[in-house]
Chain A
Amino acid sequence: MSSGTTSEEDKRALYWLGERLIDYRHPVMIVVLIVTGYFAWLSFQLKLETSFGDLLPQSHPFVQIHNKYAGTFGGANNIQLMVEVKDGDIFTVSTLDRIYKITEEMDRVYGVNHNQIDSIGHRTTRYLRAQAGGFLKAEPVMIQMPKTADDAANIKRIVHNTESIYGILVSLDDRAALVRANFIEARLDHRRTFTEINERVIAPFEKGWIGALIRGRDAFKGETSAAAAVDTVYRDTAAARAGLKVGDIIVSVNGKPVADRVELAAEIQKYKPGTTVRLGVKSGEETRDAQLTIPEPDLELYVAGEPRLYGWVYSYASDVFWILTVTYCFEWIFRWMYFHDWRGALRPTLTGLIAAFWGLGFVHIIGFALDPLILVMPFLVTARAVSHAIQMHDRYYEEFERHDWNQRKAIVAAFAELFIPTFAGVVTDALGVLVIILVPIVMLRNLAIVISWWILAITVAELLLNPIVYYYLRAPDPEVVLARDKGWYKALINRVTDWNLSSLGKGTTMVFWLGLTAVGAFLMRGLIVGDPTSASPLVWSDSPYNVSHAHIQDKFGGVEPLIVVAEGKDRDAMKDPKVLRTMENFQRYLERDRDVGYSFSLTDILRAVNMVFHELEPKWGVIPNNSRDVAQTFFIFFSGSPPTETAKYVDPSYTTSHVTFFARNHKGDNIARIIQECKDFIARPENNMDGKATFKLAGGLIGVLAAANEELVRNDLLMNFLGFFTIYVIVLFSYRSWVAGLYLLAPLFISNILINAAMAVFEIGINVNTLPLVTVGVGFGIDYGLYILSRIIEEIRVNNNLDLSIREALVTSGKAVSFTAVCMIGGTALWTFSNIRFNAVMGGLLAVWMGVSFICSETLLPVMISYFRPGFILREGGKASRRPVVQAQAAAVS
């Protein structure tokens, strides 16, 4: 064990600093507490929020096209709602009425773009109707709710004869209808959208359905609320059997008052089908009870789309609190058992808390909101803070014993001896994360700044405040300190260390890690950029969202839009037959791709109108040969529609339009392939549209994801390189050696390969959400190596024996490192229980990552040092032998 005397000579300035911090403890403490208090106050004002625009690379040309046309041709934030009947088809009065009402309610959800709703129940979904005198007129499919079976049959006939509806908004088996709504990005409020769709769009028509339409408030009449008045009662339904009549007002369910139809539906859906409930019904002035048997829902609603997905993620976000609570309690117990003292449990908590307040307060200052998908990040940073504090506390105990139970000397020595590894570890982590700033995605840039700051804030608690806190706390009992060197844990560390440093252990360690690295390098070839599966990786495959998404995809082929804009040079460019034929060819070309379900463009309307104009003869389902005929055909269809409705097909001057492809999924490799096919088609000379228009990629969800994936591919390797380079440079300055960095980077490099391999095997793609976590992981393993290497150098300065120093470092700092690692891995692994699959997978992955880094640093690093005997460490031993203290010790030993 080192004497402490030689270290004091080497680190005179740090010992002086430690002493001054204790001397000036009151002013330092007051300043830190005031600043921490301010940050804490800011922290409690933080909100959980996702800004869709911040997730996109705004400088990418695809995103610029998306931003330019999202308001007219449709954006990436679509909700798809599928109404599917359990028996028969949708063409019954009751079902069509509900589709109409569902569409109406969807139109009222906050943030919806009222002109970008597609549904047979919406005014903008039109068909061509021949009128007396041979005139054609485009009319909404459902101008009002059907009242009779004949009305329903008429709607069925219209749907079957309209190419742009049948198979697109109504399934080919007539059992499902799709309601598609686009949301305005600037008005996206995921929680509100989620709640409103659940309460107003789903509940009243699915599990809250009683067989009667209940009147809602009429916003046009300025109503802010409306009682649950019965509007229509359908035959042979629970409502009819309960004796409900038009005009009745339902005021309570089993005695519980219901103010409106939303509360009524919420109450009804609490009961299982077959249960009889007592409805309080008001007819005129009289109030009576009606016995209603809750019916089995006759239709099911499935909702998918990005706003819905984020809504689910937000609804699961409170998971973080129980994970945090359980982790906290477990960690307290672990630390208490390790240190045999409550101060050992409390001190790391203070460090984590102070760093967290500084970090979260800063988040608020820069106007950045927390996304539920990055909650693992703050958790990890706090775990790092706790980890450094455990190292410091362990060292404090060690120095307390060494300095004959002198508290002040122990505090200063622990501070000075661990200053370099702690500071180097913190700065390495912070700069390692800061390289994310290179990716031109606002959310990642903000995250890089916030997390770097947060990590740097650890120095405040760990280095500035630490000696002061120790000084205020009562010193531990000597028996508590001595207890650390006894027990099974210490014995285990000793045995593992002895085996690892034996000849057999060294050989086995080298072969094991080399073999594992080779296997990892082979497997990591399967790593992909983007989402690796068709289901959303953010939530579990059996989650309600993914079940809905899969159902809709099965029924309608593809629902995820890729919008390619056809930008004309002059007005009326979209009336040019050559331009239109190229758009049509584009559709047919890309529809050959197995993951493109169907497509839509202005030409579909044109061909359909032309055919209707010629008595539905299929041979006329073509694009007219000259601009005049094209213009006339468009006029027929669009003449009765306001510009706000036609804008989603073509701009009012006919300069710009779009071709929209609906993809079956957004798997990373499929997106890359589809985009490449688009580029191939556009690049062909015959598709240049005589220079009258050009195709611009790309809007819609597929377009913006393609942009994000392209940016990630471009920056992933660079960030990895810079991450490692930053670590190398800091280690270079910390140890003044060119090779020290190589020794410390070896475990990180191996961990990185193994984690990339694990991501490939477990189908975790590199995307906007995973990238920051993966980048953080690169730097997080370095701390273990830094503490062990620093201790080896410290020991060799005293005993001038490399192998003895390695062993001493592993049973002292290595022991604390192993305890820290176990705590961190345990805490992070708890995330695997999260309802958010992304958090669960990333928690598990990071736990494995820290485990691999830890084991590699504890086994491979010392073995490499022992094998290759690096000069930068031996040099320190050489200095030690020249010191009088060591010479005296050596003489005493001999």
Chain B
Amino acid sequence: MTLWESVIIVTVFSIAVIVMDEIIHARRRKRREREGAARVGH
């Protein structure tokens, strides 16, 4: 493995983790909002 291959892998990996984390948190926020709206509706 060369230096640049290593740099590319870690960059792509980091971006993948960030995107995945944002998706997970966005879903949680939406779920919370839905649950909150449902409680208000009751």
Determine whether the beta carbon of A346 is less than 8 Å from that of B3: no
Q: Pick the contact of B18: A328, A333, A342 (CB < 8 A).
A: A342
Given contacts A321-B2, A321-B5, contact A336 B21 (CB under 8 A): yes
The verdict on A332 contacting B25 (CB below 8 Å), with A321-B5, A321-B6 known, is no
A479 to B24, CA, bound (A): 13
The number of residue pairs between A and B whose CB atoms lie closer than 8 Å in the complex comes to 41
Residue of A nearest to B5 (CB): A321
Does A38 sit at the interface, judged by CB under 8 A?
no
Q: Is there contact, CB below 8 Å, between B6 and A324?
A: yes
B2 touches A332 (CB 8 A): no
Closest to A322 in B: B1
- Complex alpha-carbon distance, A132 and B42, angstroms: 124
- Cα–Cα, bound, A322→B3 (Å): 9
Beta-carbon nearest neighbor of A339 in chain B: B21
Report chain A residues within 8 Å CB of B40: none
Could you tell me if B18 and A321 are in contact, using CB atoms closer than 8 angstroms? no
What residues on A are CB-neighbors of B14 within 8 Å?
332, 345-346, 349
Question: B-facing mask of A332-355, CB < 8 A → 1, else 0?
Answer: 110010000110011001000000
In the docked arrangement, what's the CA distance between A341 and B22, Å?
A: 9
Within 8 A of A (CB), among B14-42: 14, 17-18, 21-22, 25, 28-29
Would you call A318 an interface residue if the criterion is a C-beta within 8 Å of the partner chain's C-beta atoms? yes
Q: B9 touching A336 by the CB < 8 A rule? A: no
Task: Decide yes or no whether A686 CB sits under 8 A from chain B.
Answer: no
CB-CB nearest in chain B for A328: B10
B22 with A325: CB separation less than 8 A: no
Q: In the assembled complex, how far is the CB of residue A179 from the closest CB belonging to chain B, in whole angstroms?
A: 34
A336 with B1: CB separation less than 8 A: no
**Contact with B17, one of A322, A332, A477, A480 (Cβ below 8 angstroms):** A332
A325 touches B17 (CB 8 A): no
Query: Known contacts being A321-B2, A321-B5, A322-B1, is A329 close to B10, with CB within 8 Å?
Result: yes
Chain A proximity of B22: nearest CB distance (Å): 7
Interface size class of B (residues with CB under 8 A): 10 to 19
| A132–B18 CA distance with the chains assembled, in angstroms | 90
CA distance A328 to B13 in the complex (A): 9
Q: Which residues of B contact A477 (CB under 8 A)?
A: 25, 29
Contact call B25/A325, Cβ cutoff below 8 A: no
Complex Cα–Cα for A477 and B28 (A)? 11
Per-position 1/0 for A463-506, Cβ under 8 A of B: 00000000000000101100000000000000000000000000
Q: Choose from A318, A325, A336, A341 the contact partner of B10 (Cβ within 8 Å).
A: A325
A458 CA / B22 CA spacing, docked (Å): 29
- Looking at the complex, which one of A318, A332, A349 makes contact with B1 (CB distance below 8 Å)? A318
Complex alpha-carbon distance, A341 and B18, angstroms: 8
Q: How far is the CA of A332 from the CA of B3 in the complex (A)?
A: 19
Q: Is the pair A342, B17 in contact by a Cβ cutoff of 8 Å?
A: yes
Secondary structure of the B contact surface, majority rule: helix
Interface contact B6-A322, CB-CB below 8 Å: yes
How many angstroms between the C-alpha atoms of A101 and B22 in the bound complex?
66
Cα distance A161–B9 when bound, in Å?
64
Partner of A325 from the list B6, B18, B21, B28 (CB cut-off 8 Å) is B6
A325 lies within 8 A of B2 (CB): no
Q: Which residue of A lies closest to B28 (CB)?
A: A479
A contact residues around B9 at 8 Å (CB): 325, 329
Query: Which residues 485-532 of A sit at the B interface, judged by CB distance below 8 A?
Result: none
A333 and B18 CA atoms in complex are apart in Å by 11
Contact code string A2-25 (vs B, CB < 8 Å = 1, else 0): 000000000000000000000000
- Chain B residue numbers with a CB within 8 Å of A345 are 14, 17
Q: In the complex, are the beta carbons of B13 and A329 less than 8 A apart?
A: yes
Q: How far is the CB of A46 from chain B (nearest CB, A)?
A: 10
Measured between C-beta atoms, what is the minimum distance from A340 to chain B in Å? 9
What is the distance, in angstroms, from B3's C-beta to the closest C-beta of chain A?
A: 6
Distance (Å) between the CB of A474 and the closest chain B CB?
10
CB-nearest residue of chain B to A324: B6
Q: How far is the CB of A314 from chain B (nearest CB, A)?
A: 14
In the complex, which residues of chain B have a beta carbon less than 8 angstroms from the beta carbon of A318?
1-2
* A342 and B2 contact, CB distance less than 8 A: no
- Taking the closest CB of chain B, its distance from the CB of A171, in whole angstroms, is 41
What are the residues of chain A within 8 A of B1 when measuring CB–CB?
318, 321-322, 325
Instruction: Give the residues in chain A near B3, CB-CB below 8 Å.
Output: 321
Residues of B within 8 A of A480 (CB): 25
Query: How close is A762's CB to chain B, nearest CB, in angstroms?
Result: 28
Minimal Cβ-Cβ distance residue in A for B10 = A328
| A346-B10 contact, Cβ under 8 Å, with A318-B1, A321-B2, A477-B25 | no
A745 to chain B, nearest CB (A): 37
List, in ascending order, chain A residues with CB within 8 A of B10's CB. Answer: 324-325, 328-329
- Nearest A residue to B13 by beta-carbon distance? A329
In angstroms, how far is the closest chain A Cβ from the Cβ of B41? 23
CB distance from B23 to the nearest CB of A (A): 11
Shortest beta-carbon distance from B20 to chain A in Å: 8
Q: Of the candidates B6, B22, B28, B29, which one forms a contact with A342 in the assembled complex, judged by CB atoms under 8 Å apart?
A: B22
- How far does the Cβ of B37 sit from chain A's closest Cβ, in whole Å? 18
**Across-interface contacts of B5 in A (CB, < 8 A):** 321
Q: How far is the CB of B27 from chain A (nearest CB, A)?
A: 12
Contact B21 A332 (CB under 8 A): no
Q: Which of A322, A324, A332 contacts B13 (CB 8 A)?
A: A332
- Chain B residues lying within 8 Å of A346, measured Cβ to Cβ, are 14, 18
Interface string of A315-332 (1 = CB under 8 A from B): 000100110110011001
Give the shortest distance, in Å, between B18 (CB) and chain A (any CB): 4
B17 near A336: Cβ-Cβ < 8 Å: yes
Cβ–Cβ < 8 Å partners of B22 in chain A: 342
Please name all residues of chain A whose beta carbon is closer than 8 Å to the beta carbon of B17 when the two chains form the complex.
Answer: 332-333, 336, 342, 345
Instruction: Give A346 Cβ to nearest chain B Cβ, in Å.
Output: 7
CB distance from B9 to the nearest CB of A (A): 5
Q: Distance in Å from the Cβ of B13 to the closest Cβ of chain A? A: 5
**Chain A residue with the shortest CB-CB distance to B9:** A325
Residues of B within 8 A of A479 (CB): 28
A322 to B1, CA, bound (A): 6
Which of A325, A346, A479: most chain B Cβ within 10 A?
A: A325
With a cutoff of 8 Å between Cβ atoms, the chain B residues found around residue A341 in the complex are 21, 25
Q: B34 CB to closest chain A CB, in angstroms? A: 16
How far is the CB of A605 from the nearest CB of chain B, in Å?
A: 52
Distance of A28 Cα from B3 Cα, bound (Å): 30
Bound Cα distance from A511 to B3, whole angstroms: 48
Among A219-256, those with CB < 8 Å from B are none
A322 vs B13: C-alpha distance when bound (angstroms): 14
Chain B positions within 8 Å of A328 at CB level: 10, 13
Kindly provide the distance from the CB of B1 to the nearest chain A CB, expressed in whole angstroms. 4
B29 to chain A: closest residue by CB: A477
Residues on the A chain within 8 Å of B13, using CB: 328-329, 332
Complex: how many Å from CA A21 to CA B22?
Answer: 29
CA distance A576 to B14 in the complex (A): 75
Q: Give A311 to B1 CA distance when docked, in angstroms.
A: 18
Q: How far is the CB of A261 from chain B (nearest CB, A)?
A: 29
Q: Measured between C-beta atoms, what is the minimum distance from A833 to chain B in Å? A: 13
Cβ of B15 to closest chain A Cβ, rounded Å: 10
9 of the cross-chain contacts (CB-CB < 8 Å) are A318-B1, A321-B6, A332-B14, A336-B17, A341-B25, A346-B18, A349-B14, A477-B29, A480-B25
Q: Which 10 pairs show the lowest CB-CB distances between chains A and B?
A: A342-B21, A321-B6, A321-B1, A342-B18, A322-B1, A325-B6, A328-B10, A329-B13, A325-B9, A332-B17
Q: With contacts A325-B9, A333-B17 known, what are 11 further pairs, Cβ within 8 A?
A: A318-B2, A321-B3, A321-B6, A322-B1, A324-B6, A325-B6, A328-B10, A328-B13, A332-B13, A336-B21, A342-B22
